[in-house]
Structure 1
Amino acid sequence: MTDYQIRYGAEVAEALRAGRPVVACESTIVSHGLPRPDNLRVAREIERAVRDNGAVPATIGMVAGELVVGLDDAQLTRLASADGVAKLSVRDLAVAAATGVDGATTVAATSAVAAAAGIRVFATGGLGGVHREAAQTFDESADLTTLSRTPIAVVCAGVKSILDVGATLERLETLGVAVVGYRSRRFPGFFITDGGFDLDWSVESPEQAAAVLAARAAQAVQPGALIVANPLPPQEQLDPELHDRTLTDGLARLAADGITGKAVTPFLLAHFHAATEGASLAVNVRIILRNAALAARIAVAAATTATGSGR
């Protein structure tokens, strides 16, 4: 009988046994989020950012049906270079394993697998959320419901501004997912520093974020994720006027071409890349590297807190 259990990279397995800080990283940015050959270079830079800030990176993905926590460089290269790599959400994991495919894990799948592996912190770029016109299409990312039941801290730059940001925050509130800004009481808009909505809470340091995780574990009341929304510094964001102009034009083209469903996000991101002459891609890379660094510092603080409390 085939063994479908999760396999761990050697470094990650040792770090988890020793209680060292580990940060989960997704693989969809490698296979679907960035163009070749930038995708492999950036994937390695993400792992380097985690290491440089004191933690062990655990990039999660599927290779020939085997779900791996802590891809090695050869496996990372395979997912970055191969055609036909499947995009895997939580619902797809078992089917993909049984059919022996190569797959890249989304935010939802990476969060769920990381939490099952005992990893407490996950770094990503931006979350999925509620799509515009969702009242008619019911188009909402599985990220939201997965995070409502997955005990992990997710460091992100909010949700992509092509989504309905306000509705996404409302859904997160309904689902009981805690959202804190990192040194900000405003929710970031991915490409832009300010997504236009206030937050009730903020944390000022990795240690304070780790304290939230410790309090949640001690209380054993909240089952879901902690979202740490990490805005880009204003000088590093996409020019807001360019952003708004590009978004308006992209939405108009979307409607004119009748594009709906899963095709919406890749269409709009490709439009941003073309219309901004690559500036949005450069911002995307800055986002994920900054989030990886912050996630590592939170993981280090969380590990130190756990050691100090005797756990």
Structure 2
Amino acid sequence: MGGLGLESLLQVSPEVQAALQQGKPVVALESTIISHGMPWPDNLATALEVEAVVRESGAVPATIAIIQGVPHIGMQRAQLEHIARRGTAVQKVSRRDLPVVIAKRMDGATTVSATAALAALAGIHVFVTGGIGGVHRGGEVTMDVSADLTELGRTPIAVVCAGAKSILDIPRTLEVLETQGVAVAAYGTDEFPAFFTPRSGCRAPARVDSPEEAAAMLSAVQRLGLGSGLLVAVPIPPEAAAEGAEVQAAISRALAEAADKGVQGNEVTPFLLERVRSLTGGRSLASNIRLVKNNARVGAAMAAAYAATGGAAGGAAGGAAARQQQRSRL
């Protein structure tokens, strides 16, 4: 990939490029949540609000998406609106889909795995999302395991999220993360959060209580050259807890309905998500938005702490080293 010229493949916005060169904190944001996670116009409003939260918290936002075959690292409002208006007509892009979408000059909304890969190529060290994918229930039979977990095992980036959705098999998800060598820490709690609920029943492998502690872990990952990432799991904020509890009850009901109806395989997740939206009357969306904004605050503070301690010192040189390491894994 290096022979093709990385600069000709990525379109880095002037703002993001300047921040990287100056060693300022930058936070990557995914775009699948815009195209596939929310309806228009809520998706555009949320994307802009999350970027604003990142800025207010001292970092530069870099929303990542593919437009006409070109991966964009940092997007203008018109580009965000383009992805938001097209919605599910935009191709959902995981790591495996990147060559196809780029070669065919398609629009693409990046998932966690694709966003992490592209962010690392650009030299970005912190990535904020809602929740990661994981091992699906029954995954020991279906082998339905999210590419997010493998990506975290081979990409040196910190992913700040609210854990994994409780519709997944969280104990097995944590086992796979361990197998992949991913450092996992819960933020301000000893329990690994489960997206809409702060409680999963699973003890987190580690705990951090401040952006500075999380940044120190990221610095250790980078200095050791392990090649794997760091997952920082942030519990849903207290102000969204009531909504989260309602959503969690809906998830439990939807799981029971799926079992009664014999829903299996790759039909399970779409069935559950649609039922949860229906059962909560859309309140799951409000909870999701609050949760993502909270993750953005923590992630931006972590990126700022990382930059302040020299973690991003060297700017372009540090980015070049990260890109070279990531190239060898693509």
Q: TM-score range by the shorter chain?
A: over 0.9
Amino acid at match of 2:34: V
| Contact 2:43/2:84, CA 8 A, preserved across alignment | yes
Counterpart in 2 of 1:233?
Answer: 237
Counterpart in 2 of 1:56?
Answer: 60
TM-score, normalised to structure 2's length? Answer: 0.88
1:24-68: CA deviation from partner (whole Å, max 9, x where unpaired): 000000000112210000000010000000100000000111111
Displacement of 1:82 in angstroms is 1.1
Displacement of 1:253 in angstroms is 3.1
Counterpart in 2 of 1:77?
Answer: 81
Structure 2 counterparts to residues 262-273 of structure 1, below 5 A: 262-273=266-277
- 2: CA distance between counterparts of 1:263 and 1:119? 35
Amino acid at match of 2:64: I
- 1: CA distance between counterparts of 2:162 and 2:186? 9
Relative to structure 1, the CA distance from residue 262 to residue 74 in structure 2 (aligned partners, 3 Å threshold; closer, same or farther) is farther
Structure 2 counterparts to residues 126-145 of structure 1, below 5 A: 126-145=131-150
| Residue range with higher mean Cα deviation, 239-248 or 29-38 | 239-248
- 2: CA distance between counterparts of 1:309 and 1:82? 38
| Residue range with higher mean Cα deviation, 20-29 or 238-247 | 238-247
Displacement of 1:264 in angstroms is 3.0
Residue among 280, 289, 300 paired with 1:296: 300
State, as a whole percentage, how many aligned pairs show the same letter. 49
| Contact 1:159/1:189, CA 8 A, preserved across alignment | yes
Task: Kindly indicate whether residue 107 of structure 2 is the aligned counterpart of residue 87 of structure 1.
Answer: no
Gaps of 5+ in 2: 319-330
Residue among 182, 192, 200 paired with 2:205: 200
Displacement of 1:234 in angstroms is 4.0
| Contact 2:244/2:284, CA 8 A, preserved across alignment | no
Relative to structure 1, the CA distance from residue 308 to residue 295 in structure 2 (aligned partners, 3 Å threshold; closer, same or farther) is closer
**C-alpha root-mean-square deviation of aligned residues, in Å?**
2.1
Give the aligned length. 310
Structure 2 counterparts to residues 12-91 of structure 1, below 5 A: 12-83=16-87, 84-91=89-96
Task: Kindly indicate whether residue 149 of structure 2 is the aligned counterpart of residue 177 of structure 1.
Answer: no
Displacement of 1:233 in angstroms is 3.4
Amino acid at match of 1:144: L
Residue among 253, 257, 265 paired with 1:249: 253
Task: Kindly indicate whether residue 130 of structure 2 is the aligned counterpart of residue 116 of structure 1.
Answer: no
Amino acid at match of 1:279: R
Relative to structure 1, the CA distance from residue 92 to residue 136 in structure 2 (aligned partners, 3 Å threshold; closer, same or farther) is same
Counterpart in 2 of 1:98?
Answer: 103
| Contact 2:27/2:125, CA 8 A, preserved across alignment | yes
Displacement of 1:259 in angstroms is 4.1
Report the secondary structure of 1:119's partner residue: coil
Report the secondary structure of 2:120's partner residue: helix
Counterpart in 1 of 2:309?
Answer: 305
Counterpart in 2 of 1:214?
Answer: 219
Gaps of 5+ in 1: none
Displacement of 1:248 in angstroms is 2.9
| Contact 2:127/2:299, CA 8 A, preserved across alignment | yes
| Contact 1:193/1:234, CA 8 A, preserved across alignment | no
| Residue range with higher mean Cα deviation, 192-201 or 230-239 | 230-239
Counterpart in 1 of 2:167?
Answer: 162
Report the secondary structure of 1:198's partner residue: coil
1:263-299: CA deviation from partner (whole Å, max 9, x where unpaired): 4323312211210122211111111000011111011
